[in-house]
Chain A
Amino acid sequence: MVTVEVSTEKNGVVGVLAGKLNDIIEWGIAEPARYLINWGRIYALWPVHVETACCSVEFGAVHGPRFDIERFGILEAFGSLRQCDLLIVFGTVTRKMAPRLKMVYEQMPEPKYVIAMGACSINGGLYFDSYNVLPGIEEIMPVDVYVPGCPPRPEAVIQAIMLLQDKIRKSKVR
């Protein structure tokens, strides 16, 4: 968020001082700001409502009272994708769905995260030899967390969310 570019190429006292100043700003402003922004992102992951296959059943269960993913700040099926930042790919992506899914991904605002849920979205899973199924979604979008299972249990989905939170916590802020 806050980046101050102070040239450190100069030699001598000026260069050293500028480098120190940079370090202090990094230590005192940039780093707490990064933590704060990331903390906000961690607990406000709003998922896009795009269902690609049958794993959405288990994602419905994750929203339910027993697993209640809203504890992590994840809203249930949210309206417009313009306000979302988490794309969970629920299983099989077919050749008809792939362009649409890519379009959905492109329409989301940065920063956006992708969870590939289910074996089918990882490498085709049970449908490895099908004529209409993509062998995994990484060829159309970058993936942050993979959740294996067919379908994954809700606990696995929650673990994936926690892994994603860990990843965001350590990531740089753009």
Chain B
Amino acid sequence: MINLSVEFDIKGKPSTLSLSIGPQHPGSGHFRLIITVDGDIITDIYPDPGYVHRGTEKMAEYRDYFQNIPHLERPIIIDSTGITLPFCLAIEKLMDKEAPPRAQYLRIIMAELNRIISHLYWLGIYGPFLGHTTMFMWPMGDRELFIDLAEMIGGQRVTFAYTIPGGVRNDMPENFKDKALKIFDHFERRLKEYDDIFINNPITDKRTKGIGVVKKADAIDIGLTGPNLRASNVKSDIRLDEPYCLYDELDIKNNIPVLSEGDCWARMMIRRIELHESMEIIKKALKRIPDGSVKLPFRGAVRVPEGKIFVRTEAARGVMGYYLISDGGKTPYRVKLSVPSFRSIPGMPIALKNVRIGDMPPIYWSFDYWPVEADK
């Protein structure tokens, strides 16, 4: 049934060399970039995604709303709250219900924790892509601390399935706040060490500044989102523009970094600053979190009234949008995921044009492209 003899031809022109970067390449994920190099300069880029296309959207039509939550978080398990939260919001809006305030705050805490976990993983891969092995190990080690925190609330290492329609699965334990603040203090110190060893390293500066530039107009035009867009001097963040989950009560106006360079360095720094700012947001949320129940009493299969809705939230990689059509049945009629990684694919040909082969891995990864998410 499965054809195992597909030919992997890559197109090439005379006097240039075509290189297939991926899917088995230390500098690629589950993704292939076919680049044409003239000497050491990349002249042509042909992104070839689809190695992890698992038919999530089709399969979502066969699962009911609760079954869909663990199913829909699989595309991006390092940011699982980021991808399940808009789905739950969409269901709640179609049912015209609101989660209790404590649940909303818990969602904020979990989403920001996930943002930190995701950014740390990103930083951990960015290090070796620049040839810095220590920068792989340190973020991976410190990520475990935040995974511990998330595990305290969610009960799993990465796939929490924490947000459900009508609230969150369970309340946070009592000692969470103390432990979280302790870990944040520790991590603030660690971040300074990261700065010393990697971020402010003169070689990192030289290698990332001024390469892979995506200008503001281009960034808007090709549809970049999230940190990539904010690195190109656009202050666009759904948490601020269209606040969900009581983000508007937290006054996060100053917690959203914007840089104007639009290069590899800016995209790195945005995430580096967001690591810090997400902790600040969690601290604010922990201060204001009210008491009360954490979920509406749902039992059994949810029946969502007929309707269409588009909901978007700010996940770690950018705008996570869901277009949900319900026909009143047990299962959704159509779930369309608009994932941020998919929207950063067109950024690569622009950023990778006329750079050297050596700059390809850092530029590619500076978009925080997560192929599993993009392929759905």
A and B touch in the complex (CB under 8 A): yes
- Chain A residues in the interface with B (C-beta under 8 A): 48-54, 56-58, 60-61, 63-66, 76-79, 81, 92, 94-100, 102, 104, 126-127, 129-134, 139-140, 150-151, 153
Q: Is the Cβ of B52 less than 8 Å from the Cβ of A94? A: yes
Interface size class of B (residues with CB under 8 A): 35 or more
Given known A49-B24, A52-B30, contact A57–B53 (CB-CB < 8 A): no
Q: Which of B5, B70, B128, B147 contacts A77 (CB 8 A)?
A: B128
For residue A90, which residue of chain B has the nearest CB? B30
**Quick check: is B141 within 8 A (CB to CB) of the other chain?**
yes
State the Cβ distance, A76 to closest chain B Cβ, in Å. 7
Residues of B within 8 A of A58 (CB): 157-158
Q: Which of B51, B55, B141 meets A131, CB within 8 Å?
A: B55
Kindly identify which residue among A53, A54, A64, A78 contacts B137, using a CB–CB cutoff of 8 Å: A64
CB-defined A-B contacts under 8 Å, sample of 11: A49-B25, A52-B52, A58-B157, A61-B143, A61-B157, A64-B124, A65-B144, A96-B53, A100-B24, A132-B55, A150-B159
Given A60-B124, A97-B51, 20 more contacts at CB 8 Å?
A54-B372, A56-B29, A57-B78, A60-B125, A61-B157, A64-B137, A65-B141, A76-B133, A94-B50, A96-B53, A97-B52, A127-B54, A129-B62, A130-B58, A130-B59, A132-B54, A134-B2, A140-B2, A151-B158, A151-B159
Residue from A66, A76, A97 within 8 A of B30 (CB atoms): A97
Closest A residue by C-beta to B52? A53
Shortest CB–CB separation between residue A59 and chain B, in angstroms? 11
Interface string of B175-202 (1 = CB under 8 A from A): 0000000000000000000000000000
**Is B3 interfacial (CB-CB < 8 Å)?**
yes
> B135-177 CB contact bits vs A (8 Å, 1 = yes)?
0111011011001000000000111000000000000000000
A64 to B215, CA, bound (A): 36
Nearest-Cβ distance from residue B138 to partner chain A, whole angstroms: 8
Known contacts: A60-B124, A61-B140, A64-B140. The answer to whether A50 contacts B23 by CB under 8 A is yes
The interface residues of chain A lying within 8 Å CB-to-CB of B24 are 48-50, 81, 100, 104
Contact A77 B78 (CB under 8 A): no
B334 within 8 A of A: no
Closest chain A CB from B328 CB (angstroms)? 23
User: Given contacts A53-B52, A99-B4, A126-B71, is CB(A65)–CB(B29) below 8 Å?
Assistant: no
Distance in angstroms from A64 CB to nearest chain B CB is 3
Is the Cβ of B75 less than 8 Å from the Cβ of A133?
A: no
Instruction: Check A57 against B141 for contact (C-beta < 8 Å).
Output: no
